[in-house]
Amino acid sequence: MQPYEIIAAPFTLWVAPVATAFPLVGAAPASEWIKVGTNGDRSESEDGVTVAHSQDFSQVKVAGSTGPVKAFRTDEGLVVSLTLLDISLEQYKLAMNGAAVTTVAAGVGTAGYKHLPLYQGLNVTTYALLVRGTGSAYGDAYTAQYEVPFCYQSASPELVFKKGDPAGLALEFTALEDPAAASAAARFGRLVMQHAVAL
């Protein structure tokens, strides 16, 4: 219902290899896109998804004035974060630099199991990130999506296992400047909001 620009909707994340094409608004992500959380937003804590735009400035002050006369942006960042209530190894690996999950089949007298290495090493895995929800400022049923072409998982999760509370895996995806961006304005990607249905 109106006003459409007031949005209260969960968003879901997908990751894919860098340079994977982003899906069009309204189209299902291709098979290269892996959903974060087995059940998407039903695998997230009620804190939801946070999109943080950070920036720092340098101000110029002159002798003949008490206030700044000019400002330069010296730093900017984009971080998408959430707490995942899904610690299946296929999801946990996002916190472990995208390490491979190994499956060992059950045998006679031995249980089957999966395992994930906990050492990450020097190299950092990068991803393309899609953040999508039914949360357009132009209509309740329309889609909005953040398209981040180049990022890495930057959180240092601390899982707490205790009675009565689910273990949460805190994840942060920090944008890096896309070296293949078509323009300077596209270095962190873009935010797309649907405003009309397809013809």
3: preceding bond cis by omega (within 30 degrees): yes
How confident is the model over 51-99, as pLDDT tens digits?
999 999 999 999 999 999 999 999 999 999 999 999 999 999 999 999 9
Q: What span, in angstroms and rounded, lies between the C-alpha atoms of 6 and 3?
A: 6
Length of the chain measured in residues:
199
Spans in the chain with pLDDT lower than 50: none
Q: Is the dihedral of CA 70, 189, 191, 83 positive or negative?
A: negative
Q: Are 167 and 161 in contact (CB under 8 A)?
A: yes
Sequence ranges of the domains in the chain = 11-193
Query: CA-CA-CA-CA torsion for 89, 95, 99, 102, nearest 10 degrees?
Result: -10
Q: What is the pLDDT of residue 26?
A: 85
The pLDDT score that the predictor gives to residue 102 is 98
Q: Which letter does DSSP use for residue 110 in this model?
A: B
Identity (one letter) of the amino acid at 103? T
Tell me, what's the pLDDT at 80? Answer: 98
pLDDT at 31: 96
Residue 140, Ramachandran bin (φ over 0: left; ψ between -120 and 50: alpha; else beta): alpha
